Structure formats: C-alpha cells, structure tokens
Amino acid sequence: MSAPPAPPTFVPVPGLWWVTNGGGLIANAVVARRRRSRRLGLLFAGALALHVGEAVHAWRFARRSGLGDDAWRWAAQTLGVGFPSLLALHDLVAERAELATHPGPG
C-alpha cells in the first residue's frame, strides 16, 4: 500500500494573468518612455514597487508556510503577475493546513 501523494508546493497561475498583468506592466513602461510622460512613469514606478513588495511578501510567506524550496518560484511568479499569484499562494497554504488538520481516510 502506497502513501498518498504529497500536496503540491507550487501552483502556476493561468497564462492569461501573465499577458494581462505582466504584459500590462511592460506596456505601461514602454508607453511612458515613448511619450516621455511623467504621470505614466510614476504609474509604472508605483506598479513596479507594488509587484516587488508583493513578491517579497510571497517569498517570506511561502518560507514561513513550509514551502521553502519553492519560495523563489512564488516570488518570481508574484513579481510577474501580482495579486493572482498571492491569491493562489494563500489558497494553497490554506488547503495544506486543512489537509494537515483533517487527513483523508487512511
């Protein structure tokens, strides 16, 4: 009899989030640069700072939650797509906690 599979430690977000969120960040940078728009430049800087902050939070939260080997993957994904990655991370940690407190039949 084999042991049940270990719960996942990383869940990639759907590719569309990379296109909309990561692509939007890049598009904003390009448009701000081409138009030499201070407002768009500030918008880009703010969005980039937010993504970096979210990535740092994702890395720390993943490490504290026992996902140490994949913490860098969570940080990289969150840097690229932002909040959808954080939502996936928090959902995964909640699911793992539920499995730890209420293991399946066995």
Distance CA 83, CA 21 (A): 9
Judge residue 42's burial from the number of C-beta atoms within 10 Å of its C-beta, 0-12 exposed, 13-18 middle, 19 or more buried.
Answer: exposed
Average confidence (pLDDT) over 39-56: 96
pLDDT tens per residue, range 70-95 = 999 999 999 999 999 999 999 999 99
Average confidence (pLDDT) over 38-59: 96
Q: Is the pLDDT of residue 63 over 80?
A: yes
Q: Is the pLDDT of residue 6 over 90?
A: no
- Residues counted in the chain: 106
